Amino acid sequence: MIVKKAGTILLNLTLKQIGLVYRNNNNDCSFPKGHLENGEILEQCAIRETEEETLRTNHLLINKEIYILKYTTPSGENVECYYYISIADGATSKNIDLKDQETLKWTCPSDVENALSYDNLKVLWKKIKNPIISILENEGTISPAILTDLGICPTCYDKENNNCLYGDISDKLLFENDKFEIFLVSNPRAAGHTIVSTKKHYKNMMDIPDDLCSEIFIFSKKVMNILQNVYNAESIYLCTMCDGPMNHFHIQLIPRYAFEKRGSKNFVKPRKDYITDKDKIEKIRNLLKLEAIC
């Protein structure tokens, strides 16, 4: 039987420090955590246990676990502990039972590894240390890069949280079906810079089923021809470069114009401001609808 627990990496955005708990009975130091109670979901457990052990109210910064620690206790319990990132809000007003309280130690990120008592927690900390420091330095702001470093797909996270990262892109959406969507890039490397992205999560091209891979690339070929015609581009470059701890498969289609030199440098042209061209967008949408019917 698996025993489930939940806890947090508690951040103090004012002090730029991490909340660790010291247990006098065990003479050890760890991140706050505890057992899942009946009727609770893991997120609720993480918040409650953190409040009880640290006497600090807190809220989750990301409503998804950033690490699942699996271990066996000396008594033989097989444990799965789900860790979240939470932000300290202040002292609790709840009457917390003394048996649930621990000693809170605010700790600088550089000192966390040495302060932790267990090797598996040190491994956890090494994995998340850099993105956690970035969150502290950026006043609790989450970016796609930080999510990627935490092993969370920013594309999926954005869709699950009301477009909180990239904003509403419906005005840039060119085509969608139940498998993929096609839209203009908000910070393009060239006018007409377009992305083809799967709706279901796949980390990269190697993970995509063959039939879906074939369908996407055949349709992308049609998109390339339409972009070249509508934008009067000399060529359309295709790139799929999904890398890092977590990515969401997508294809980039980058126009190259007659005034630009040929070559791979076109893949890394400077980003530009997005300029809305409603006539071109409507033309592309109509042409893609026709292609989808054919």
Q: What is the mean pLDDT of residues 31-57?
A: 96
The last residue of a domain, from among 114, 149, 184: 149
State residue 25's pLDDT score. 83
Which residues are bridge partners to 194 per DSSP? 184, 253
CA distances from 115 to 71, 107, 108, 237 (A): 20, 8, 10, 50
Note whether 170 and 137 are same-domain residues.
Answer: no
Q: pLDDT class for 96, splitting at 50, 70, 90?
A: confident
Mean pLDDT (the chain) is 94
Could you give the C-alpha distances from 277 to 171, 222, 257, in angstroms and in order? Answer: 10, 20, 17
**Number of domains present in the structure of the chain:** 2
Tens of pLDDT, residues 135-178: 999 999 999 999 999 999 999 999 999 998 888 999 999 999 99
- Asked whether 151 and 241 are in contact (CB, 8 A), the reply is no
Specify the CATH number for the domain of residue 275: 3.30.428.10
In terms of domains, do 171 and 139 share one?
A: no
Give the domain range for residue 227: 158-293
The two beta strands, 2-12 and 78-91, are parallel
Instruction: Give per-residue pLDDT as tens, 6-17.
Output: 999 999 999 999
The answer to whether residues 169 and 186 touch, using CB atoms and an 8 Å cutoff, is yes
Handedness of CA 242, 248, 251, 257 (dihedral sign): negative
In this structure, the answer to whether residues 119 and 231 fall within a common structural domain is no
Contact in structure between 278 and 263 (CB atoms under 8 Å) = no
pTM: 0.83
Q: What is the CATH number of the domain that holds 19?
A: 3.90.79.10
